[in-house]
Amino acid sequence: MRLYMRLMTCNDTVSLTELAKQYSEESPGYVIQSWMHSRNTLEFLRQWENDMNEEFDDRACEELIHQGHTTSLTITPSLWIRKTHAVGMYVKQGKGGGVRAYPEIAADFHL
């Protein structure tokens, strides 16, 4: 819990990338992708977005969930955000980049 609190910043988001490094220092992105592969995770993210984001595209979400479990599609944070207009997570490329999320989402990831 202390690590979780230290990772919070002034804008109240948490680095999923830093949390994932606890499990794989070399491949934190893979840890995040594995978490997003779970239907339970996608349903949690869907509910969070529907509650918090009126621009969320639930139909696109349903398509992603279906494609993710019937094809070899890998659902990444970038794909999730781009297709569904999600706001609960965001991705920054390059040095100092990674995946950040609101605390409720980070708590689900960290379980």
pTM, entire model: 0.85
| Cα separation, 56 vs 59, whole angstroms | 9
Give 44-103 pLDDT, tens digit per residue.
999 999 999 999 999 999 999 998 888 888 999 999 999 999 999 999 988 888 999 999
Whether the predicted pLDDT of 11 surpasses 80? no
Mean pLDDT of 25-47: 94
Mean pLDDT of 23-33: 93
pLDDT value for 81: 97
User: Checking DSSP bridges between strand 14-15 and strand 89-92, what pairing results, if any?
Assistant: unpaired
Residue the block writes with tokens 């680095």: 15
Residues pairing with 100 in the sheet: 15, 90
